[in-house]
Amino acid sequence: MRLDGRTVVVGLSGGIACYKACEVVRLLVGAGARVPVIMTAGAQQFVTPLTLQTLSGQPVATDTFNLTQESEIGHIRLADAAECLLIAPATANVLAKLATGIADDLLTTVMLATRARVVLAPAMNVHMWEHPVVQENLARLVARGARVVGPATGALACGYEGAGRLADPADIFEEVSAALVPQDLAGEHVLVSAGPTQEPVDPVRYLSNRSSGKMGYALARVARRRGAVVTLVSGPVGLPPPPGVQLVTIATAAEMADAVEAALAPATVVVMCAAVADYRPRRPSARKMKKTPGTLTLELEPTRDILAGLGARKGQRLLV
């Protein structure tokens, strides 16, 4: 998604994940956004303002009381210019300050002054993340309209395993993009099918097609970006799941039919992009079929017509 002409203010607070925030800034700038950066004193212990200034092409704001930066009441100028305020990483400390209205540095002061949409990307130790106080502070911010992306789960810099890693830069970029587009699909539940199906011939062979799933995944991503709740039922593809989308993976046409049926009830929009097999082997072999001289004949039978079944009882849903 292009962000030409949009202004995204990025705030970094003090955590090792600051190095990943540099990539987020690079992605935003690459998409055409203007990206002023604010760094807390703690953030400057991990990466330098010069790094962020080089990546953003903008002066980096660091101090509420800097005479040069504040000659034009810089914290208000930043707050007013922002269309989206992204804080990545958002540490437990900064979440607590934002939740309780403390404004004791430039970043928290801008947060109180801005009317922009806010995206928070938490990153911290797993035990800190799971602490009830942190969860209560985050819930307060979400109740006030903040969007949250992550944290991811995995190995942490402190040596622990669990939730607390900064979300992938591409996922953070996607959340910022969602914050900047009209939420004209809010309240809709979109069900999308994508990709091929695989119909077993034996334990190692199957009948399939060349569907990549790209169309369905793109539609799911954009629907979620525009505010919809999205369920994506996908055959085997080599694509990463769109952030924020409920992904249901299947292999066969029968599994696709069952998964679509299970997800249908809350759906208000159904978009069938999957390349579902029309036929399947009638009697798949329980063991690998050995090569034999001469020709091989496979007896096929029709699979269930998913689209026809949906059309017969679509009700008020939009079916594509």
**Catalytic residue status for 84:** no
**Beta-bridge mates of residue 207:** 199
**Which entry of 18, 22, 84, 158 is annotated as an active-site residue?**
158
For residues 92 and 131, is the Cβ–Cβ distance under 8 A? yes
The SS3 assignment for 12 reads: strand
For residues 120 and 149, is the Cβ–Cβ distance under 8 A? yes
The SS3 assignment for 22 reads: helix
The answer for residues whose C-beta is within 8 angstroms of residue 229's C-beta and 6 or more apart is 188, 189, 190, 246, 266
DSSP string, 179-214: HHS--TTTT-EEEEEESB--EESSSS-EE------H
Calculate the alpha carbon distances from 33 to 29, 111, 196, 252 in Å.
5, 20, 36, 42
For residues 164 and 125, is the Cβ–Cβ distance under 8 A? yes
Helix (H) or strand (E) holding 249: strand 246-249
Distance of alpha carbon 179 from alpha carbon 146, whole angstroms: 10
| Helices 132-143, 92-100: crossing angle, 10 deg rounding | 50
DSSP assignment letter at 46: T
**Cis bond upstream, residue 284 (ω within 30):** no
Instruction: Write out the catalytic residue numbers.
Output: 158
